[in-house]
Structure 1
Amino acid sequence: MMPHRIRLQWEVATRHPKSIVGCQVRRDPAEATERYTHWINNLTNEQLVTQVFTSHGPTVIMPTWFCSREWFCHVGKFDEGGKGTPEDLLYFYEHLRKGGEVFRVDQCLLLYRYHPKAATHSVLEETIWTYRLLFLEERVLSHWTSFTIWNAGKQGRKLFRSLSSTNQKKVIAFCDVDKNKITKGFYTYEESKENPKPRIPIIHFRDASPPFIICVKLDLTDGQFEENLSQLNLKEGVDYHHFN
């Protein structure tokens, strides 16, 4: 850590005693996980809360965390399930459930080393998916009466299949830019035990109605997806959430 890390994060934490305070990081090697590192360092203050459902995990990463002992004890202990348990994600979710705030000092205060034997690699993608989905249903979908899934491809269909039956019934459409998917017209959930099987319309994103759960990865389309989203003049955390 950099010499002034504790002072700068302590100053924020004393003003916000129910908070986890993070910071920006520098990767070693520099080219490791470039998209992830960009995400860590460039989220806005609002996105530190709105983007908690993405596959990247906590919006301030655990090696940067700073909080008061009193608040840590209030949230509770880390899950000691051992190898394969995403203890940082589970603690972060509990922190948010108990009304915790999230802040980041916008200075690079930590050298974050990457190595292939890090414990994070022992956590299965499906484990992370399950916890993210449950948190999304708890925090967002339970308050919505209907929504659209942005992405009629693999990830969007997987989200639909993973939802509880109650939340599946709230999905009014998939939206996409792929002409082939839109021309097809519908996604039929063949594995469903219902009769008739659910058929969800597939429409162009400009014809879709918010709110959206977005299953499109950021920073992978040369800015085209981000431009499409910005054209709709929606508010993140109200009209849509990222689940990519």
Structure 2
Amino acid sequence: MSSEDPEQRDRKSEVDMNPPKRLRTAESHTGTELEVEKSTVDVSIIMPVYNASCWLDECLQAIVDQDFTGSMELSVFDDASTDDSRKVVEGWREKLEARLISVVVSGHYSPKPRGVGFAKNKAISQSCGQYLCFQDADDIMLPQRIRLQYDACVLHQNSLIGCRVQRVPEGSTERYTRWINTLSQHQLITQVYTSHGPTVVMPTWFCSRKWYLKVGVFDEGGKGVPEDLLFFYQSLRQGGGLSRVDECLLVYRYHEKATTHSVTEETIWKLRVDFLQERVLSQWENFTIWNAGKQGRKLYRCLSPTNQKKVKAFCDVDENKIQKGFYTYEESKERPKPKIPILHYKVASAPFVICVKLDMTGGILEENLNSLQLKEGIDFYHFN
């Protein structure tokens, strides 16, 4: 047991929050020496770390192997790891600096981690790159990642830039991975309301520092807070764009310890409903909910009273639901209770909010939508 008293430990933790000076290897007339880096670099690799020692060697080797010829730094913030993550990172300092990648590492020794949002903000605040490349410690970037995303971001200064991914273990989250990799540029914007979350997935993000500062810092609520989705929505509110480099630039690891598992489905649901109402339903005079089943009815119940009144019908393909004729909102305090017609999708009218999950009906949903010659983003939006 440590002989330090609590105050001494707290002071040590606070001191450690201050990052060391940023160093890089530089050539001088007297040979190779370490100099304090005073100017900005082109790209800061932003890496929050929490108990990631088993993945760090692969992750850091991939950073060394980048073919980007501009200046880079690695900014790591250790969020109270209880393993030897920080020691592993420090063990790579010499190799990284030999590759002219400056390294800045800090963290804290509090009893509990402060969360991914906090760690990202700290890693960014101690960095100096004009552009930010977000890298999870358990993922592996391919050699061309920074070069290609940097080139894209220079052209799209106010956008979040993503890329295609390879999911490991192979076959894990197959439907989600297919969605990430096959969205069109148009769908990056139109499908931001689905249960999949950000259409440009956080582990692939690359953006300018100026845009990050304009959007604002990540939410620091800690465990259970979807800081990526909150930032993503705020970026869109600020008029930010979305773009994807259509090459696989990241090996995206799936495992049970991933922080995404701490966020509940209900938390995500509420944020999605609120954003849909703010961005889409506020612009529509009325609309149809496509799905008279559980998910469609749940969406209806979660809408504001104003938007509930805009629902002119549910539509479906299930004859049993259609034969019922209507859905009665039993929880309503209105008298008489609202009764919403249930129609066959062929006789229902746009615009639609689609509450059927994509890629789950063997192509039937997609065929039905195509048969009506509807345009995504105008005549319908996917919600589930």
Q: What one-letter code is carried by the residue in structure 1 that aligns with 2:304? A: S
Length-normalised TM-score, structure 2: 0.63
Matched, 1:170 2:310: yes
What is aligned with 1:137? 277
Q: Detail structure 1 runs of 4+ shifted over 2 Å in the superposition.
A: none
What is aligned with 1:118? 258
Aligned partners of 2:279, 2:360: CA distance in 1, in Å? 27
What is aligned with 2:369? 229
Q: How does 1:198-217 map to 2 (within 5 A)?
A: 198-217=338-357
What is aligned with 2:178? 38
Aligned residues: 244
Aligned partners of 1:12, 1:27: CA distance in 2, in Å? 23
Aligned partners of 2:256, 2:156: CA distance in 1, in Å? 35
- 1:80 match: secondary structure: coil
Length-normalised TM-score, structure 1: 0.99
Matched, 1:100 2:249: no
Considering Cα pairs closer than 8 Å and 6+ residues apart, tell me whether 1 or 2 has the greater RCO.
1
- 2:331 match: secondary structure: coil
What is aligned with 1:148? 288
What is aligned with 1:27? 167
Matched, 1:181 2:321: yes
Q: CA deviation at 1:117?
A: 1.4
Radius of gyration: which is bigger? Answer: 2
- 1:181-223, CA deviations, whole angstroms, 9 ceiling, x for partnerless residues? 0000000000111000000000000000000000001111111
Identical residues among aligned pairs (%) = 69
Q: What one-letter code is carried by the residue in structure 2 that aligns with 1:136? A: L
More strand by share: 2
- 1:122-144, CA deviations, whole angstroms, 9 ceiling, x for partnerless residues? 10000000000000000000010
- 1:3-47, CA deviations, whole angstroms, 9 ceiling, x for partnerless residues? 110010011100110000000000110110000000000000000
**Over aligned residue pairs, what C-alpha RMSD do you find?**
0.4
Q: CA deviation at 1:105?
A: 0.4
Give the gaps of 5 or more residues in structure 2.
1-140
Q: What one-letter code is carried by the residue in structure 2 that aligns with 1:66? A: F
Give the gaps of 5 or more residues in structure 1.
none
- 2:266 match: secondary structure: helix
